[in-house]
Amino acid sequence: MSNQQFISSGQRTVAMEMQAVNDLHNRIDASFVTACETLLTCEGRVIVTGMGKSGHIGNKIAATLASTGTPAFFVHPGEASHGDLGMITKQDVVLALSNSGNTAEVITLLPLIKRLGIPLISMTGDANSALALAAVANLDVSISEEACPLNLAPTTSTTVTLVMGDALAIALLESRGFSAEDFAFSHPGGALGRKLLLRVSDIMHADNEVPRVTPETPLHNALLEMTEKGFGMTTITNTEGELLGVFTDGDLRRIIDSKTDLNAVNMDQVMTENPKTVKHDMLVAEALTIMEKASITAVVVEDANSHPIGVLHMHDILRAGVI
pTM: 0.63
Average pLDDT per consecutive 10 residues, the chain (323 residues; last block may be shorter): 92 94 94 96 94 95 91 88 75 95 93 91 96 96 90 88 96 82 60 71 91 92 92 90 90 87 88 91 88 91 87 89 72
Long-range CB contacts for residues 215-220, cutoff 8 Å, separation at least 24: 215/244, 215/266, 215/267, 215/268, 215/271, 216/266, 216/267, 216/268, 217/266, 217/267, 218/263, 218/265, 218/266, 218/267, 219/255, 219/262, 219/263, 219/265, 219/266, 219/267, 219/270, 220/262, 220/263
Q: What is the pLDDT of residue 179?
A: 65
Asked whether the beta carbons of 167 and 141 are under 8 A apart, the reply is no
Q: Which amino acid is at 135?
A: A
Q: Which residues contact 320 (CB under 8 A, 6 or more apart)?
A: 194, 198, 202, 203, 284
CATH of the domain at 209: 3.10.580.10
174 and 256 co-located in one domain:
no
Q: What is the pLDDT of residue 195?
A: 64
195 within domain boundaries: no
For 107, other C-beta atoms within 10 Å of its C-beta total 18
241 and 281 co-located in one domain:
yes
Q: What is the pLDDT of residue 191?
A: 58
Asked whether the beta carbons of 176 and 69 are under 8 A apart, the reply is yes
232 within domain boundaries: yes
224 and 139 co-located in one domain:
no
User: Which of 126, 147, 178 lies at the terminal end of a domain, its last residue?
Assistant: 178
145 and 23 co-located in one domain:
yes
185 within domain boundaries: no
Q: CA–CA separation, 41 vs 118, rounded Å? A: 12
Residue 16's closest CA among 131, 148, 114? 148
Q: Which residues contact 112 (CB under 8 A, 6 or more apart)?
A: 85
Q: What is the pLDDT of residue 193?
A: 63
Q: What is the pLDDT of residue 194?
A: 61
Three-state DSSP class for 27?
helix
User: Which of 117, 148, 178 lies at the terminal end of a domain, its last residue?
Assistant: 178
Q: Which residues contact 262 (CB under 8 A, 6 or more apart)?
A: 219, 220, 223, 255, 256
| Number of domains the chain is built from | 2
Q: What is the pLDDT of residue 16?
A: 94
156 and 209 co-located in one domain:
no
Residue 52's closest CA among 20, 99, 86, 87? 99
What are the residue ranges of helices labelled H in the chain? 3-24, 30-40, 53-67, 77-80, 104-107, 110-116, 130-134, 156-176, 180-185, 190-197, 200-203, 219-229, 249-257, 267-270, 284-294, 314-319
Write the CA distances from 8 to 13, 144, 208, 236, integer angstroms: 9, 20, 66, 65
CATH of the domain at 40: 3.40.50.10490
Q: What is the pLDDT of residue 89?
A: 86
190 within domain boundaries: no
183 within domain boundaries: no
Q: CA–CA separation, 116 vs 112, rounded Å? A: 6
156 and 214 co-located in one domain:
no
Q: Which amino acid is at 306?
A: S
193 within domain boundaries: no
User: Which of 148, 178, 208 lies at the terminal end of a domain, its last residue?
Assistant: 178
Dihedral angle sign, alpha carbons of residues 221, 225, 230, 232: negative
The domain containing residue 97 runs over which residues?
Answer: 3-178
Q: CA–CA separation, 100 vs 50, rounded Å? A: 11
Residue 200's closest CA among 286, 305, 83? 286
65 within domain boundaries: yes
152 and 205 co-located in one domain:
no
188 within domain boundaries: no
Q: Which residues contact 26 (CB under 8 A, 6 or more apart)?
A: none
